[in-house]
Amino acid sequence: MNISREEIVAHIDTPLLRLISHTADEMQLECYLIGGYVRDFFLYRPSKDIDVVAIGKGTDLAEAVTRKLGKHTHLTLFKNFGTAQIKHKEYEIEFVGARKESYRSDSRKPIVEDGTLEDDQRRRDFTINAMAFCLNGDRFGELLDPFNGMQDLEELIIRTPLDPDITFSDDPLRMMRAVRFAAQLGFDIYPETFDAITRNRDRITIVSMERVSDELNKIILSPKPSIGFILLEKTGLLEILFPELTALKGAETKEGVGHKDNFYHTLSVLDNIARETDDLWLRWAALLHDIAKPVTKRWDPRLGWTFHNHNFIGEKMIPRIFRRMKLPQNEKMKYVQKLVSLHMRPMQLVEDEVTDSAVRRLLFDAGDDIDDLMTLCEADITSKNPVKVRRFITNFKIVRRKLREIEEKDRVRNFQPPVDGNEIMQVFGIPEGREIGILKAAIKEAILDGVIPNEHAAAYAFMLEKAGEMNLNPVDKPGQ
Ligand code: ATP
């Protein structure tokens, strides 16, 4: 890449960066832009996260810059770490003093000392993240790239600046970051770097799960997540972090009948859904939709391979996985569970016959998540047989049309019973109890089965009839 100093200057010649530059000059501090901001400039990815490293006290520079920026500026000092963060308009600027880190094998905590720029670049994770632009007036826009990050950027390579065994053993999270950058940027991991990840993979267990799943989520959110998962699998990290996923691997054959490799199928579904949505949790649902296939797999001499109830067992496996991964245990998880448990329904509906009542029941069970469920089911079509694919796509179109028609007519998507428990108690003058439950369920079933429309008058009449069969009579009200 032949990018001249003038081009770099033109890009970084902004009032904000000039203000940092002048302030550093006044304080006689050397200072540099470093890391993601520099990398993303060469990748034509605009960035609002700016990392500044000063040769000296980065926090002093941050304080002086904050005073000059005036309004709309918020400074946070992390005195213990010698770092500071400024939030100014849409920008987040991190300031740090250049440091030298040395690690001992018996402790994860590095000995941190003040260092030169090159010391600081050496402790960075990858060559493409270790490039710096000088900000000082006379050298404004000068590129400092002692580890040839530029060349790796051109060749689309993730490589550590130091011996990879040292870089990864110092902070094993960097192994996840290598995979994450490969997935996000579509880069390859340099063979020696890759081998070192494989050798050091067990050390990932000393990293906190929050940091690991943060990277995992970024892999899931990347344009083609399968790149990341295949790398995680090949390095052996996946087996340690997510054994339920590696269990999906392999295709067994019995009596000449095989089943598909559910690991690669799952990754295709994830890539398919990544083309449709940026929603992290819908992507998680795709990753987990078949997670219970290994535990439910059976060979039936008549039916061949079966994965009976894998959707329901999968739904039940999710809380344990989310807990271990330190992922939210809230409505996000419930949403993933719901989609996993329902993911067979639209297909069954097609196979059985698209009756109104089956469509109504699906709408009732999926509620507002019905569109996401259909997106997941369409992403689940990974057959290589074009005839089959065309049939599935046509059938799902029919289901979608039916869903729209039935919803317009019956509005069961967010079902509210037209006659509720309170009304039933009043009409029959009875307290809360078993009868109320029976009547409510009977009304709901009659609506879902299409016996009566989803309207008050019809539901009221139906309730009176049902109650009669149960020997319940309405209490007479004066004037009625
Ligand atoms: P993104 O914003 O997409 O996460 P980034 O490269 O800006 O990408 P940050 O986590 O913000 O990532 O880190 C900023 C810079 O700090 C990186 O470019 C890298 O130089 C350095 N860095 C971050 N984490 C580590 C780490 N664990 N080990 C070494 N260097 C790191």
CB 105 within 8 A of CB 200: no
pLDDT score at 107: 66
* Per-residue pLDDT tens digits for 14-26: 999 999 999 999 9
Minimal-distance CA residue to ligand 1 atom 7: 36
441 residue type, one letter: A
CA of 82 to the centre of ligand 1 (A): 17
* Per-residue pLDDT tens digits for 170-217: 999 999 999 999 999 999 999 999 999 999 999 999 999 999 999 999
Share of the chain above pLDDT 70, in %: 98
304 φ, ψ (degrees, to nearest 5): 85, -145
CA of 178 to the centre of ligand 1 (A): 11
Count of other CB atoms within 10 angstroms of residue 330: 9
Closest by Cα among 133, 158, 125, 121 to 42: 133
- The separation between the first and the last C-alpha atoms of the chain, rounded to the nearest angstrom, is 88
Minimal-distance CA residue to ligand 1 atom 8: 36
Contacts of 306 (CB under 8 A, 6+ apart): 296, 297, 298, 299, 300
CA of 408 to the centre of ligand 1 (A): 50
Tokens of 2: 């032949």
pLDDT at 479 > cutoff 80: no
pLDDT score at 81: 85
Minimal-distance CA residue to ligand 1 atom 21: 124
Per the prediction, the chain carries an average pLDDT of 93
Share of the chain above pLDDT 90, in %: 76
pLDDT at 231 > cutoff 80: yes
* Per-residue pLDDT tens digits for 113-144: 889 999 999 999 999 999 999 999 999 999 99
3-state secondary structure (DSSP) of residue 453: coil
pLDDT at 480 > cutoff 60: no
Contacts of 52 (CB under 8 A, 6+ apart): 20, 31, 32, 33, 34, 58, 61, 93, 94, 95, 96, 135
Q: Which atom of ligand 1 is nearest to the CA of 184?
A: 3
CA distance 328 to 216: 14
CA of 175 to the centre of ligand 1 (A): 13
CA distance 238 to 201: 9
pLDDT at 64 > cutoff 70: yes
- The distance between the two most distant Cα atoms of the chain, rounded to a whole number of Å, is 95
* Per-residue pLDDT tens digits for 298-343: 999 889 999 999 999 999 999 999 999 999 999 999 999 999 999 9
Q: Are strands 91-97 and 49-55 parallel, antiparallel or unpaired?
A: parallel
CA of 397 to the centre of ligand 1 (A): 44
* Per-residue pLDDT tens digits for 401-439: 989 998 888 888 888 889 989 999 999 999 888 989 999
As for ligand 1, residues whose beta carbon falls within 6 Å of it are 35-36, 49, 51, 124-125, 129, 171, 173-174
Q: Are strands 132-134 and 143-144 parallel, antiparallel or unpaired?
A: antiparallel
Average pLDDT estimate for 93-97:
96
pLDDT at 478 > cutoff 50: no
3-state secondary structure (DSSP) of residue 99: strand
Minimal-distance CA residue to ligand 1 atom 10: 36
Minimal-distance CA residue to ligand 1 atom 16: 35
> pLDDT confidence of 3, banded at 50, 70, 90?
confident
CB 289 within 8 A of CB 340: yes
pLDDT at 106 > cutoff 90: no
Q: Which atom of ligand 1 is nearest to the CA of 37?
A: 7
> pLDDT confidence of 72, banded at 50, 70, 90?
confident
CA distance 298 to 304: 8
pLDDT at 353 > cutoff 70: yes
